Structure 1
Amino acid sequence: MTKRISLTQHLIEQQRLHNKIPSELRLLIEVVGRACKSISHAVGKGALGEVLGSAESENVQGEVQKKLDIISNEILLEANEWGGHLAAMASEEMETIHLIPNRYPMGEYMLLFDPLDGSSNIDVNVSIGTIFSVLKAPEGMGTPTEQAFLQPGAKQVAAGYAVYGPQTVLVLTTGDGVHCFTLDREMGAWVLTQKNIQIPADTKEFAINVSNSRHWYPPVSRYVTELLAGKEGPLGKDFNMRWVASMVADVHRILTRGGIFMYPADAREPEKPGKLRLMYEANPMAFIVEQAGGAATNGQQRIMDIQPEKLHQRVPVFLGSKNEVERVTAYHQQ
């Protein structure tokens, strides 16, 4: 019988190998992992737990919140407040940062998260997930401010996501490859099931919401037209399209078998540079994808090189198999 490696054992062994996961960071990742177990349990209850449907409120983005959005946000806040490993938190669901209460010690890390990605899929029982990113607090920081969070994605010390699907999985990087853990529901433990995941450089799959095609800018229209042209087109091969409308599910498929995920800016709201949030979605996913040998750009530059200007900044996203990301990025740069 193959020996099972837990999340804790994996983190300790990675620290011995690479000396990049001090005890505070390990504790932070473990606590986020526990919170994701709680969210998975709530998601799994569905209608039985009376957690489906709208909360009849809006988040800071002006989006209608689901009950599970609010529940997931509270689970992550409460789980991470008291451990002494965090200085502050920021959530896609909250207008500003969440300070650690004075009764708890303040740590040296900062946590950002999208508590429940893919909210439109909650009520139809399609895979959804949680995305998180970890930054180091600036040297000599006193009371945390929003400005302290505005660090390029290249400064991340850890990132990951959980997918709540037929299995609940946790995908994690601390800068030395990407590893996947599956939740053993009977034992309540995260078990290492994939090590050093690599995304193929070439692909025959793409993910984009084609219903928006009439609003796309020319580089995206050109690229998708070439994909759809198949073997007779300039790319010389047939492509399949996949679109789950949960970023975690679409990215997890790409991590598993390759592909390119695209959420471009479009002409519907030309004042907005994109739809996805740089700090809560694009940066952590870019870190994971790059660590797996893929690429991630906003069409013009590497996502993790972007200097954030505000907490809820939006960006276009092209990520996945390296050769296709480079191709669509070149079309934008031309």
Structure 2
Amino acid sequence: MTQTTLRQHLQNQTTDAALTRIIEDISTACKLIADRVRHGAFAGVLGAAETENVQGETQKELDVISDEIFQQIVGTNPDLAALVSEEVDEVNWRKEAPKAGDFVVYYDPLDGSSNLDVNLSVGTIFSIVQLEADVAPSAEAVQIDGTKQIAAGYAIYGPSTGLVLSVGQGVDGFTHHPGSGEFLLTQAAMIIPAQTQEFAINASRYDLWDTPVRRYIDDCLRGAEGPRGKKFNMRWCASMVADVHRILTRGGVFLYPKDSGNAGQGGKLRLMYEANPMGMLVEQAGGASSTGTGRILEVAPTGHHQRVSVILGSRDEVAVIEEYHEKA
């Protein structure tokens, strides 16, 4: 049985040829990044690069390499106005006079790179918006609401290379076929179960959490005899891509809330190229995304490296967590 290629799938879902081309460029960049990750040990590039990104985080050599690949492949697209990367302070404008209809691509070139040394899954996250009017290049011009996203997705580099994508008509998963070089549709119409008994959170920050988050986790851990009336499993990969991929394939809820240790920054995860694209994917798959007090996609951007509290996954469980915040 012949499987649908990424291009065939996009041609069935959108008549926007320019959008198809830029998604194909992103997929090509992800294939190249996957190859660098797979062969990183032989090339000696799994270690730290002895530099910091704009977030003040120590970069891995593959963080830098992955960002360069993204710029080289996606950055040459003729319909691209700008790239916004986790690894680069300034907006990378590709046109002097961006026009309505041009694209802005936000991306985290290598999410979870701290997992490289222990051979766990990492990934690339991306979000695409389209300019609604001609703009002058500026940082303010890329501060566009998450509700304006026309596509979002991620690549996951694990036992196989996967690509999970939404163009606003649900969520579909593709797997890279090494023999043909194609991304083939392998998980059509991905749906997150409304209910779950599994959560993902960095439990080492327990003492820093706000009261509603601590109470929620405490109640989950009390099991069938506790107020939730059921047992919960805890999972944590320290890679947002890996944790969200698990939720998209079998359900669950992911939390990286604002806490006393990161409140001054607004949280840990970045709105434009982590929370918004993952929020779009989760919602398109029937789940929900929240800061604890409101929908992530409705957060008004104030900067292209803005951080935000993130809670997303199975719809009913996100609603429960929001209730904990309301009661607090």
Q: What TM-score do the two structures reach when normalised by structure 1?
A: 0.95
Q: What is the rounded CA distance, in whole Å, between the counterparts of 2:170 and 2:111 in structure 1? A: 23
Deviates more, 1:276-285 or 1:48-57: 48-57
RMSD: 1.5
Aligned residue type for 2:68: E
Question: What corresponds to 1:32 in structure 2?
Answer: 26
Cα distance, 1:106 vs. partner?
Answer: 10
Cα distance, 1:49 vs. partner?
Answer: 1.9
Q: What is the rounded CA distance, in whole Å, between the counterparts of 2:177 and 2:27 in structure 1? A: 13
The Cα offsets for residues 125-180 of structure 1, whole Å up to 9 and x where unpaired, read as 10000000001113122x33221211111100000000000011000000000000
Q: What is the rounded CA distance, in whole Å, between the counterparts of 1:121 and 1:7 in structure 2? A: 28
Which of the numbers 231, 248, 264 marks the counterpart of 1:238? 231
8 A contact 1:109–1:137 mirrored in 2: yes
Deviates more, 1:281-290 or 1:114-123: 114-123
Matched, 1:177 2:170: yes
Question: What corresponds to 1:314 in structure 2?
Answer: 307
Question: What corresponds to 2:84 in structure 1?
Answer: 90
Q: What is the rounded CA distance, in whole Å, between the counterparts of 1:100 and 1:226 in structure 2? A: 50
Paired residues for 1:71-150 under 5 Å: 71-100=65-94, 108-141=102-135, 143-150=136-143
Question: What corresponds to 1:63 in structure 2?
Answer: 57
Cα distance, 1:333 vs. partner?
Answer: 2.2
Question: What corresponds to 1:44 in structure 2?
Answer: 38
Percent identity over the alignment is: 51
Cα distance, 1:214 vs. partner?
Answer: 1.0
Q: Structure 2 stretches of 5 or more lacking a match?
A: none
The Cα offsets for residues 83-133 of structure 1, whole Å up to 9 and x where unpaired, read as 20201111011101101167x999711101000000110111100000000
Question: What corresponds to 1:193 in structure 2?
Answer: 186
Aligned residue type for 1:136: Q
Aligned residue type for 2:215: R
Paired residues for 1:242-257 under 5 Å: 242-257=235-250
8 A contact 1:84–1:107 mirrored in 2: no
SS at match of 2:244: helix
Q: Structure 1 stretches of 5 or more lacking a match?
A: 16-20
8 A contact 2:291–2:310 mirrored in 1: yes
SS at match of 2:263: coil
8 A contact 2:279–2:288 mirrored in 1: yes
SS at match of 1:47: helix
Q: What is the rounded CA distance, in whole Å, between the counterparts of 1:269 and 1:66 in structure 2? A: 22
Q: What is the rounded CA distance, in whole Å, between the counterparts of 1:173 and 1:44 in structure 2? A: 26
8 A contact 2:282–2:288 mirrored in 1: yes
SS at match of 2:155: strand
Corresponding residue pairs, total:
326
Deviates more, 1:67-76 or 1:107-116: 107-116
The Cα offsets for residues 279-309 of structure 1, whole Å up to 9 and x where unpaired, read as 0100000000000000000010000011100
